Amino acid sequence: MSLFGASIRRKEDPRLLQGNGRYLSDIKLHGMVHAVFVRSPHAHALIRGIDSSAAAADPRVVCVLTPDDLPVGLPPLPCIDAEETTKPFNQPILATDKVRFVGEPVALVVVEGDRYIAEDIAGLVDVDYEPLPAVSTAEAAVAPDAPLVHFDSNVVDVLEYSVGDASSALAAAPHTLSERFITQRYAGTPLETRGVIVEWDEPRRGLTMWSSTQVPHSLKATLVGYLGLPENAVRVIAPDVGGAFGVKLQPYPEEIVLGLAAEQVGRPIKWVEDRYEHFLASTHGREQYHDVEVGYDDDGRILAIHDHAVTNTGAYLQRLTLVEPFIGVSMLSGPYVIEHQQLVSTVVMTNTTPLNPFRGVGHVQAAFTMERIVDLVAAAVGVDPGEVRKRNMFSKDVFPLHRGIGNVLAGEIIYDSGDYQECLRRAMAAAEWDDFRREQESARAEGRYKGIGIGFFVEETGLGPYESGRVRVEPSGQVIVFTGACSSGQGHDTVLAQITADELGVEFDDIVVVHGDTDLVASGVGTYASRSAPIGGTAVRHAAGSIKEQAIRIAAEMLEASPQDIELIGGEVRVKGSPGSSVSLAQVAGRVAPGQPLPAGVDEYTLDATDVYHPPTNTFSYGCHVATVEVDIDSGVVTLLRHVVVNDSGTLINPLLVDGQVQGGVALGIGGALLEEIVYGDDGQPLNANFMDYLVPAIGNMPEMVVEHMIVPTPLNADGMKGAGEGGAVGAPAAIANAVADAVLPFGAKITETPLGPETVYRALQDVS
């Protein structure tokens, strides 16, 4: 049986289960010193001066770096500008004249000893702030007299897209409805915070940086730029990464400052973010509201939509911040045929931690908004939500489907493959929709309020521009796979070994996967946007395919046969039809080891192949979630009953691992639907920056979960893979919000925002009574 498609146990686990994981904070180097960042306690303030003399006088201090100590003209953090229209709202590496959010790094203190001592001494750095009025919400930021975060307006960009003629279609529509839908600010909050170790190597005039990052190659490229070093002088290593979810997908100021300090300090420096710092200084996501007007007919067909989304992107535009406002509107219509769309996405800055993508960026808000609208339309026309969805969905015959929207961040939106109607049908069947309706009816008769809701989504996955894969066979017979993708817990070692084993017929246990080290992996992009399997996996598949061709060519000479007559099966290269005439892949690798003449027609002393795969365009996964809930009308408490997901990520390499991805995504979506919100006061002070007050779902929050897979392979890559990392997080809030709305429908309560904590639901019920 082929390993490809099999639910096998992970390669990674025994090592981690024996306590042999090596996360960033586990690494100790000889002579290591410890760093702490001095951060702004103010949401908005001028820096009048920094006096670090008391700190610098402490004999344990190795170095203090303030903005004045950084190279003149050091560029701020990079930002990819969605439409190339925005002003430079990038974050300085250390705040110079002004701080714009609580937690913004202002200075670095490096000490001999340990983190405890480093924190003591960091407290001696005296920053003279002149506090300024601050603004923390998008609504407050657009008020005429709002404090200005940067220049003359807090509205820093407006992205606009349109398909058809929405204004005319809305005017002509038989019915319209309007509503505002609000998705709160929340964050990935991996259990492992960020952390960096940097070591300067004087003889080599270069440095090695270990960082808990999703993108070691992109961090390397950034360091090369900031430090003015040649590529070969910078090595970045991502050790075991304890979760990331997008929070670790960009180079951060701490990495650049530590890179700059490395040579001066001359000893390894370690910095590990604590949880409070993480809430302040690692990127957040989501905060976006949508003002929507939709036109529909008597049958519930949606004819036109006008959406104005407003995103609170925080104090700076980070590398990919603008993905949030872009995807939030561009993916709004999801699986639905809506001929006329006018989409406007306003980017607003405030004195809060910057936004950057995390698990399901933009899609979460888009799906929540659209799926709530569809349910409102269904209720207005008196048709079941499932039926209304069916009437509006694309058929399976439309692919490839050009949606007429695109930009530099995400490319043109072209849906590649799928069967949305079947996905909906299967999810409703798995949720026992009709039975639940009966159950709901009888529960209502007893004064108990249950609800069922659908959350359908289409999600842009498998983003380019490329990923690298390299396969090398050693004379021992071991196969080494190098990938530019980088694991933060997904199981890259396992699934890339499955692909390799499938292509080469070698034993799973004879495959070693290497990632997260820029000296060992020549090029790469990293892991985000559900890309490692479709892009990284395809590169490995291609590289292994080249190995196969090379092996056959070499074996042809060894076996004195023609290459056409040779096949590679079970790690043996043999002459077709004569099983006795064979050599092992190890022997083939040995035949091209240096120190001997090469076989005729072979020109390299290695059995080694690399592929750098550039996908033609992105893939689009999709799925249907159906949630059932019970709402306690007296308290507003929502209890989740069951959560069904039917997901199409294309071909599955390892269904067990994909189940894990979907289930984990659903948990994050449950957090977003019911629990998680990063709260700021009007003064820009964070109010719940710890795990006691910021509620991550615990085991008791989880409902019974059912995950099924539909497999419609994409034509865009060899194995038909579409990416599976994020969809769970995308569909869940929409489905849960619809289920809550369904539960409280008898009361006419409006459900238009997440998280649906008891207070929000209770107020929605009070507002109508």
**In the complex, which residues of this chain contact another protein (CB under 8 A)?**
9-10, 12-14, 16-23, 25-26, 28, 114, 116, 188-193, 240-243, 245, 274-275, 488-491, 656-657, 659-660, 663-668, 690-692, 696-700, 702, 705, 728
User: Minimum distance from CB of 181 to another protein (Å)?
Assistant: 25
Nearer to another protein, 417 or 487 (CB): 487
- Considering beta carbons, is residue 23 or 747 the nearer one to another protein? 23
CA distance 525 to 695: 32
CB of 689 to another protein, least distance (A): 11
Q: How crowded is residue 767: how many other Cβ atoms within 10 Å of its Cβ?
A: 11
**Cβ atoms of 124 and 64 closer than 8 Å:** no
Question: Which amino acid is located at 756 in the chain?
Answer: L
Nearer to another protein, 151 or 691 (CB): 691
Query: Cβ closer to another protein: 26 or 68?
Result: 26
CB of 602 closer than 8 Å to CB of 553: yes
At 217, give phi and psi (nearest 5°).
Answer: -70, -40
Tell the smallest beta-carbon distance from residue 500 to another protein (Å).
20
Residue that is written with structure tokens 């913004």 in the block: 104
Tokens 């911040």 correspond to what residue?
Answer: 321
Q: Is 526 left (phi over 0), alpha (psi -120 to 50) or beta?
A: left
CB of 732 to another protein, least distance (A): 10
Residue 119 vs 565, nearer CB to another protein = 119
Q: Least distance to another protein from the beta carbon of 191, Å?
A: 4
Shortest distance (Å) from residue 211 CB to another protein:
15
Q: Residue 37 and residue 21: Cα distance in Å, rounded? A: 27
Q: Could you tell me the smallest distance in angstroms from the CB atom of residue 687 to another protein?
A: 16
Q: Report, in Å, the least distance between residue 539 CB and another protein.
A: 23
| Ramachandran angles phi, psi of 609, nearest 5° | -145, 145
Cβ–Cβ < 8 Å for 705, 643 = yes
Q: Which is nearer to another protein, 611 or 726 (CB)?
A: 726
Output the six-digit token pair for 593: 């080891």
| Listed residue (572, 607, 571) closest to 590, CA to CA | 607
Q: How far is the CB of 359 from another protein (least distance, A)?
A: 10
Instruction: Show the beta-strand stretches assigned E in 132-252.
Output: 155-163, 175-183, 195-201, 206-211, 234-237
Q: How many CA atoms lie within 13 A of 86 on its CB side?
A: 26
Which residue's CB is nearer to another protein, number 77 or number 196? 196
User: Given the complex with another protein, which of 349 and 689 has the nearer CB atom?
Assistant: 689
Kindly state the smallest distance separating residue 495's Cβ from another protein, in Å. 12
How would DSSP label each residue in 302-342? Answer: EEEEEEEEEEE--SS--TTTTHHHHHHHHTTTTTB--SEEE
Distances (CA, A) of 755 to 65, 244, 633, 677, 752: 41, 22, 17, 7, 10
**Least Å from the CB of residue 718 to another protein:** 26
CB burial of residue 23 (10 Å; 0-12, 13-18, 19+):
middle
Contact 714, 649 (CB under 8 A): no
**Considering beta carbons, is residue 259 or 728 the nearer one to another protein?**
728
Q: Output b/e per residue, 730-745; b: 16+ Cβ within 10 A.
A: bbbbbbbbbbbbbbbb
Residue with smaller CB distance to another protein, 16 or 383: 16
The DSSP code for 10 is P
Q: Considering Cα of 541, then 545, then 546, then 547, what sign does the dihedral take?
A: positive
Helix (H) / strand (E) containing 34: strand 33-39
Return the number of the residue (250 or 490) whose C-beta is nearest another protein.
490
Q: How many CB atoms lie within 10 A of CB 172?
A: 12
**Smallest distance from the beta carbon of 551 to another protein, in angstroms?**
32
The answer to whether the beta carbons of residues 55 and 64 sit under 8 Å apart is yes
Strand extents, DSSP E, 601-703:
608-613, 619-631, 638-648
Q: Please, are residues 220 and 278 in contact by the beta-carbon 8 Å criterion?
A: no
Residue 645 has which token pair? 């997901």
Shortest gap between Cβ of 340 and another protein (angstroms)? 38
Which residue shows structure tokens 């390993």? 3
Q: Closer to another protein at the Cβ: 195 or 571? A: 195
Question: Minimum CB separation from another protein for residue 484, in Å?
Answer: 19
Which of 78, 489 has the CB closer to another protein? 489
If the CB atoms of residues 105 and 489 are measured against another protein, the closer one turns out to be 489
Q: Which amino acid is at 35?
A: A
Report how far apart, in Å, the C-alpha atoms of 357 and of each of 186, 326, 526, 726 are: 11, 11, 14, 11
Q: CB 21 → another protein: shortest distance, Å?
A: 5
544 or 668: CB nearest another protein? 668
